[in-house]
Structure 1
């Protein structure tokens, strides 16, 4: 399954659809995950954290 994690567009929204740990679990289950650049920044998850898990 292909999953996409978008960057939130609502002003003031700090949540992200998936953390790097969640993305790691999806990948381990064989899913393909695409994370939008900056998707986790307001939730304190830099892009590098997502890149590190795959």
Structure 2
């Protein structure tokens, strides 16, 4: 599964809900 996370484009939008550690865990499980 390909997973995308929208990036903040303005200060304090609070869009990103995936931490770097969470991204690494998804990659370990075979997601890209």
Unaligned runs of 5+ in 2: none
- Root mean square deviation of aligned Cα: 1.9
Q: Normalising by the residue count of structure 1, what TM-score does the alignment of the two structures yield?
A: 0.46
After the TM superposition, which segments of 4 or more aligned residues of structure 1 sit over 4 Å from their partners? none
User: How many residues align structurally?
Assistant: 32
Which structure has more relative contact order (CA 8 Å, sep 6+)? It is 2
TM-score by length of 2: 0.69
Structure 1 or 2: more helix by fraction: 1
Stretches of structure 1 lacking an aligned partner (at least 5 in a row): 33-54
